[in-house]
A and B are shown apart, each in its own frame.
Chain A
């Protein structure tokens, strides 16, 4: 379905003397990775359908510095952080939502010490709030009879203790929600964290995403739901490796909701 997205940048709103209620931090994956861009678009469709007053930084957004920090380059991380904080503080940003748990963690936990204090929400938390406020109605009819599990992203789950928001959303779909063998605080990493996304894995017996995909295959799911663009890449690769593309799909939470609501 083709649709025009209604997206303002902070700069555009400022020129009109306006301020959005929330900044949508798109993140590098959400901006450039072809698969992750679909997540970004799906999330914006939901925001548009609910009528959320949001804006993006657009070309003024730059990497949070998370992969640099996790790769040991604290200098680059702090340079990126200070730059982003200057931009966001100039726009008097108060609240941020992001579809990437890595951006979420960095903005929420590591920016305050460098002068950037914001209320930061992962999109699962943001959407859960919209749902609880009655603004977002999730229609899950088309998922009837489908078996779905949520793969916990480390930086949202173990890293920040958020296990419930994604599940609260998925419960609204008319699907059969099951847990993977290893879930929540015991959830197995997809293999991409700590800057592993940008390098080959160290030598070993198996790739981490294949180990994880075996949990998914064992659960004989139709859909594995993710909440992180890196998990998306790793799980999608895992599905290909197991040659399950026909029967097993990987979707982000936002995509499932947008799809269910016919957006």
Chain B
């Protein structure tokens, strides 16, 4: 084991350690949310996850970006087999360790990786052009200015460089193989990188070995760095998209949950004998004012959101120039959750900064612009539910703070007084029979 292997082991261990630390912080943040039991219908949930998350069934609603996304996604997963080989080679100082045991299959695999790498590279370039040179409205909305735009571009550029390094590494490798340089076993097929070979043919073997090593290191260090970039990026969806779909709502979209805390109180009103002898624990808050009032699924979804904006593109409020954008609801939830998490890390777990998601991040105007039409939920490729967050915050506004638009207050009074949202008497309900 040489110095290079020791360096590799150190870099690899550091990357894994750092990533698991960040992952733990995110899990802790998600667990700041309220409990919610979603252990039902396991079989149906697996089916949905296989279809929607693994199968990408909702991505192809937009054929162009959907297909390109599938290429990048498949590329990501399949090329990881190559990364496994790189890790083993890195630790033990072997070279192309899978070549001998896999034989002909290895040639086929490397060939497929190369084609995928090229496709991923092209897709990322197209994605970059779409985001930066074209006018696609969902990428130009207000919440996408600044960091979210930079984040998206960083991801695309890094992927282009990683794929470029991978192909260049293979090009150097095959030149060394052809020259019979020691350590470079003859293996693999190179349908793409063979076109890079002419550039290198005049270089000395020593220099090509340097190039091969440099791109090898760039590729693996790039991947390890990228791994640690994920927790700060919208790109974290590559991990959480799967549980988000698995735990997504299976019931009809228009069905809203009946709040358990309210049910208990209403039951007591209807039957005073139902009142418990003594109160059970602290009084529950109605609705959500801050992230800790949301449930863990809603918080997890905020980390799963990759800010594609398909929700806001379909939202009737967003489309007609209202302040509401469902994507911003998800982004605000994550930003606030990160802020709360960092505050707790610094100042202990009872830390409070006096701020809240509702008010400091999301305004009443945004919440009251929602028509609850479910277009956002339907549009989301991974079944995230901004509507459930909007509704929980409306509940907090109305039931905790008595803040409600005056016309709606009138509607509520009418229902209370005469059982209809308008000022008509309940005794006139059947008058239509004899009218006309």
The 3 closest A-B pairs by CB, nearest first: A159-B254, A205-B321, A194-B372
With both chains docked as a complex, state the minimum distance between the C-beta of A21 and any C-beta of chain B, in angstroms.
Answer: 19
Q: Are B262 and A80 in contact (CB under 8 A)?
A: no
CB-defined contacts of B353 to chain A, threshold 8 Å: none
Mask, A69-95, CB within 8 Å of B = 1, is 111111110111010001000000000
Partner of A204, one of B322, B375, B436: B322
Residue interface bits B395-434, CB-to-A below 8 A is 1, else 0: 1111100001101101110011001111010111111110
Whether, in the assembled complex, B373 has its beta carbon less than 8 Å from a beta carbon of chain A, the answer is yes
Please tell me if B352 contacts chain A, counting CB pairs below 8 Å: no
Q: Tell me the minimal C-beta distance from A155 to chain B in angstroms.
A: 5
- Contact of A76 with B415 in the complex, beta carbons under 8 Å: yes
- A residues bordering B, Cβ < 8 Å? 2, 5, 7, 9, 26, 28, 30-33, 37-38, 40-41, 44, 56, 58-59, 61-63, 65, 67-76, 78-80, 82, 86, 105, 108-110, 113-114, 154-155, 158-161, 185-186, 188-189, 191-208, 210-212
Question: Is the pair A198, B421 in contact by a Cβ cutoff of 8 Å?
Answer: yes
Residues of A within 8 A of B375 (CB): 154, 158, 186, 188-189
B263 at interface by CB-CB < 8 Å: yes
Take A74-B395, A208-B371 as given contacts and tell me if A195 and B378 are in contact as well, using a CB distance cutoff of 8 Å: no
Known: A59-B429, A72-B399. A204 touches B258 (CB 8 A): no
Q: Which chain B residues numbered 13 to 66 have a C-beta less than 8 Å away from chain A?
A: none
Please state if B412 and A161 are interface contacts (CB–CB under 8 Å). Answer: no
Given A31-B420, A32-B422, A155-B254, A198-B432 contact (CB < 8 Å): no
Cross-chain contact A211 with B371 (CB below 8 angstroms): no
- Quick check: is B394 within 8 A (CB to CB) of the other chain? yes
B251 interface residue per 8 A CB criterion:
yes
- Report the minimal beta-carbon distance from A140 to chain B, rounded to whole angstroms: 23
- List residues of B (314-332) whose CB comes within 8 Å of A's CBs: 314, 316-317, 319-324
Report B-chain residues with C-beta under 8 Å of the C-beta of A200: 405, 407
Least CB distance, B405 to chain A, in whole angstroms: 5
Q: Which residues does chain A contribute within 8 Å of B410, judged by CB atoms?
A: 198
In-complex Cβ contact of A74 among B399, B404, B419 (8 A): B399
**In the complex, chain A residues whose CB is within 8 Å of the CB of B396:** 72
B255 close to A (CB within 8 Å)? yes
The answer to whether B371 and A194 touch across the interface, beta carbons within 8 angstroms, is yes
Closest to A40 in B: B432
17 interchain pairs, CB-CB under 8 A: A26-B429, A26-B432, A31-B429, A32-B422, A40-B432, A71-B408, A74-B259, A74-B286, A78-B266, A105-B252, A114-B263, A188-B319, A188-B375, A193-B372, A204-B320, A206-B321, A208-B371
Contacting pair A109 B429 (CB below 8 A): no
A201 near B411 with CB under 8 A, answer no
Do B254 and A158 touch (CB < 8 A)? yes
Find the residue from B317, B372, B377, B430 having the highest chain A CB count within 10 A: B372
